Structure formats: structure tokens, C-alpha cells
């Protein structure tokens, strides 16, 4: 997909949904629509999964994320929040919200970047020098449910 050609939002999201359902990729990252949301027609709320990279503090862990593709996606990056607790540069330690200014793929966003590419880049970030050996919270912990679930929307975050 070229950066010059703009695909309408819903077509792009349908294409991503199809790829997500087929499981195209290496199996280390996956994503799909969040079916717990009352209005799936707008395809705004997505769930993602990242298997922690080997030989890091994230090895053998499975991380769940929430992804919000707003009305301007893919021209603007989605908002991302880890549901699974993680200690990682660029992720708020209290909420799990990913800071777009601290994660390269979001900071340098282009409309051609897909949800799968985004998840793969977050996985690569886990293996970076600043994150690979960082002490992690106990496995299985999640950020507070009131923050992790959609529906409690604010001006700054859609969840």
C-alpha cells in the first residue's frame, strides 16, 4: 500500500480485519475486533496480543492490548493501551497507555503502517536495550479494569 494513495478508513479496517482473522504473520502478534463493544460497526475498538520476545524479561509472557482506531485512522495513529501489566519505556506505569511520542512507530506514523506492523514494532521495542532486562510485574497482573475497559471515555483516552 503506497503512502500516496489514501484508502477510505472503513475499507482499510475491513482489510485489516480480514488479515487479522486469517492470522497472516508470524504468530507472535495477533489482533481482531473487540466484540465486547456495543458498536462494532465503526471498527474503532480492537484487541491485540503480543508474545514476549525470547531472551528478554518478557520471554514466555503473553501481553494483551486494547487499540482504538479513531475517526482519522489510518491518517493518525491509533491509541494503544496494555491490559497486561508491563514495565516498558513509553508505557505509563499506572495506566498502561502507550505514549506515542516515546515509541518510534507511533512518533513516525505513516498511513501505510498496519495494526500488525504496529504490534510487531511494540514487540521489537520490548527487546530493545532499554527494555530487554527491565524488571517486570508479576505475571498475570492487569491494569485496573476501570482503565482497561472501553466505555469510560474521557477527552484524552477513549477507554
Looking at the chain, the number of H-run helices and the number of E-run strands are 4, 4
Beta-carbon contacts of 14 under 8 Å, excluding residues fewer than 6 positions away, are 43
**Helices 9-22 + 115-126 axis angle, to 10:** 60
- 112 neighbors 1 (Cβ within 8 angstroms): yes
Alpha carbon 157 to chain centroid, angstroms: 14
Q: Please state, in angstroms and rounded to a whole number, the distance separating the CA atoms of residues 66 and 34.
A: 8
Cα 40-42-83 angle, rounded to 5 deg: 60
Where is average pLDDT lowest: 77-86, 116-125, 145-154?
145-154
pLDDT of 149 reads: 43
Q: Please state, in angstroms and rounded to a whole number, the distance separating the CA atoms of residues 95 and 71.
A: 23
Give the residue with greater pLDDT, 77 vs 153. Answer: 77
pLDDT of 147 reads: 47
- 10 neighbors 100 (Cβ within 8 angstroms): no
In this predicted structure, the answer to whether residue 89 has a pLDDT above a threshold of 50 is yes
Q: What is the pTM of this model?
A: 0.87
pLDDT band at 21 (very low <50, low <70, confident <90, very high): confident
Where is average pLDDT lowest: 16-20, 79-83, 134-138, 151-155?
151-155
Give the residue with greater pLDDT, 54 vs 24. Answer: 54
In this predicted structure, the answer to whether residue 94 has a pLDDT above a threshold of 50 is yes
Q: Please state, in angstroms and rounded to a whole number, the distance separating the CA atoms of residues 90 and 155.
A: 20
Give residue-wise pLDDT tens across range 96-141. 999 999 999 999 999 999 999 999 999 999 999 999 999 999 999 9
- 46 neighbors 34 (Cβ within 8 angstroms): yes
- 46 neighbors 66 (Cβ within 8 angstroms): yes
Q: Which domains does the chain have, with CATH numbers?
A: 9-148 (3.10.110.10)
Q: Is 40 helix (H, G, I), strand (E, B) or coil?
A: helix
With the C-alpha atoms ordered 111, 132, 140, 21, is the resulting torsion angle positive or negative? positive
Amino acid at each position: 500500500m503506497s503512502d500516496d494513495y489514501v484508502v477510505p478508513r472503513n475499507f482499510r479496517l475491513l482489510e485489516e480485519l480480514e488479515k487479522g482473522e486469517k492470522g497472516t504473520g508470524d504468530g507472535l502478534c495477533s489482533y481482531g475486533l473487540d466484540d465486547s463493544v456495543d458498536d462494532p460497526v465503526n471498527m474503532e475498538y480492537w484487541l491485540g496480543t503480543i508474545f514476549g520476545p525470547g531472551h528478554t524479561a518478557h520471554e514466555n509472557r503473553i501481553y494483551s492490548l486494547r487499540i482504538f482506531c479513531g475517526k482519522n485512522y489510518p491518517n493518525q495513529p491509533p491509541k494503544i493501551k496494555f491490559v497486561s501489566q508491563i514495565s516498558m519505556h513509553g508505557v505509563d506505569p499506572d495506566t498502561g497507555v502507550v505514549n506515542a511520542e516515546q515509541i518510534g512507530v507511533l512518533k513516525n506514523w505513516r498511513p501505510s503502517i498496519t495494526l500488525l506492523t504496529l504490534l510487531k514494532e511494540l514487540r521489537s521495542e520490548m527487546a530493545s536495550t532499554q527494555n530487554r532486562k527491565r524488571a517486570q510485574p508479576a505475571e498475570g497482573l492487569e491494569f485496573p479494569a476501570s482503565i482497561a475497559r472501553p466505555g469510560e471515555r474521557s477527552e484524552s483516552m477513549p477507554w
